[in-house]
């Protein structure tokens, strides 16, 4: 379980005790495993929760860890350097029940006008990203969209991201080739992002295309905060059991979103959007 200078493990055996943790993480083992030498390691235990504070005065680095002995999960971890937050993990928001795992393959189709393309996405990893939601709110205020961080949500939120390599079907060679179509031409495409507040991550995370999947067990009203971003142009919203319809009554235009909440999969997204007309099926 790496604590300093790299990505942390998020789980430990449920049989682990405080003594096991002290044996694993201390001044001596930090040197042996390549961690920064630790000047201070503080342990506190309350019921089944262990709190650890790790400090290294040479570079001003501090790590704060909350570990649940019962579940085996490292619930939170924050890394500071000279008082500035550098990395943050929150397991409660990061661990989503995605419908895919690394190595899985999924297919989807995208239609824009007369252009129809078939894609194959190979899931290569599930990672995380820390997002400052206030900065996201300020960035959106300069464009056609709007967003306000709900009062009951934290400013810093951690999102689970599903990354994939996307290929498109080439009819001339009758084979799958590396996609040359934006935004799928990047070798590392985020096809979905979520946390406990947003089953579909805002554009600052998922960037330039709608989600293809989302966490299992999602219901339509779970999308309310995420879709509130689009209400300046699609202001009338209907939430059904397995669909959401967003309308601009003034212009007579609609965006339709059909999905399987239990499976965590999008069936169809199509209609009018501020960047033009597009349809997507998955």
Q: Convert the pLDDT of each residue in 199-243 to its tens digit.
A: 988 776 655 567 789 999 999 999 988 888 777 778 899 999 999
Q: For residue 234, give the 3-state DSSP assignment.
A: coil
Tell me the DSSP string of 7-23: PPP-B--TT--HHHHHH
CB atoms inside a 10 Å sphere around CB 188: 11
More confident: 1 or 277: 1
- What pTM did the predictor assign? 0.67
- pLDDT, one tens digit per residue, over 98-139 is 999 999 999 998 887 677 889 999 999 887 777 888 888 887
Q: Determine how many CB atoms are found less than 10 A away from the CB of residue 7.
A: 10
Q: Please enumerate in sequence order all residues whose Cβ is within 8 A of that of 5, keeping only pairs 6 or more positions apart, or say none.
A: 34, 35, 36
**HEC string for 64-111:** EEEEECCCCEEEEEEEEECCEEEEEEEHHHHCCCCCCCCCCEEEEEEE
Alpha carbon distance 83, 79 (integer Å): 9
75-105 pLDDT tens trace: 777 788 777 777 776 665 557 899 999 999 9
Placement of tokens 């890394």 in the chain: 79
Beta-bridge partner residues of 88: 78
Dump pLDDT digits (tens) for 44-80: 888 888 888 888 777 778 888 888 888 887 777 778 8
Query: What is the Cα–Cα distance from 208 to 190, expressed in whole angstroms?
Result: 9
Rounded Cα gap, residues 123 and 175, in angstroms: 19
Residue in 128, 131, 130, 141 with CA at minimum distance from that of residue 229: 141
pLDDT at residue 174 in the model: 93
Helix and strand numbers, DSSP H then E, in the chain? 6, 15
Partners of 160 in the beta sheet? 128, 194
Provide the pLDDT for residue 60.
76
Query: What are the DSSP E strand ranges found in 95-188?
Result: 105-112, 115-132, 156-170, 175-178
Please tell me what DSSP assigns to residue 273. Answer: E
Dihedral sign of CA atoms 109, 112, 117, 119 in order: negative
CA distances from 60 to 36, 37, 125, 156, 260 (A): 11, 12, 32, 22, 48
Decide if 217 contacts 199 (C-beta within 8 A).
Answer: no
């Amino acid at each position: 379980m790496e604590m300093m200078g790299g990505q942390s493990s998020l789980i430990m055996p449920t049989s682990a005790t405080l003594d096991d943790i002290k044996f694993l993480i201390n001044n001596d083992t930090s040197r042996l495993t390549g961690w920064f030498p630790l000047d201070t390691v503080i342990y506190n235990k309350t019921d089944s929760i262990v709190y650890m504070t790790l400090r290294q005065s040479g570079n001003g680095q501090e790590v704060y860890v909350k570990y649940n002995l019962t579940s085996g999960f490292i619930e939170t971890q924050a890394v500071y350097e000279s008082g500035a937050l550098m990395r943050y993990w929150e397991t409660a928001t990061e661990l989503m029940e995605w419908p895919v795992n690394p190595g899985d393959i999924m297919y989807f189709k995208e239609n824009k006008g007369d252009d129809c393309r078939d894609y194959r996405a190979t899931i290569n990893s599930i990672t995380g990203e820390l997002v400052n939601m206030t900065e996201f709110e300020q960035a959106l205020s300069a464009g056609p969209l709007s967003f306000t961080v709900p009062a009951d949500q934290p400013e810093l939120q951690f999102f689970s991201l599903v990354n994939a390599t996307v290929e498109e079907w080439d009819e001339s060679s009758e084979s799958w080739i590396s996609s040359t179509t934006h935004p799928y031409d990047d070798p590392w495409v985020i096809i979905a992002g979520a946390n406990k507040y947003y089953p579909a991550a805002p554009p600052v995370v998922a960037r330039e295309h709608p989600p293809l999947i989302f966490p299992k067990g999602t219901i339509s009203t779970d999308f309310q905060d995420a879709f509130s971003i689009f209400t300046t142009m699609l202001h009338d919203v209907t939430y059904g059991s397995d669909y959401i319809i967003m309308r601009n009554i003034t212009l007579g235009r609609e965006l339709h979103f059909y999905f399987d909440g239990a499976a965590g999969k999008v069936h169809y997204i199509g209609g009018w959007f501020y960047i033009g007309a597009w349809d997507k099926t998955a």
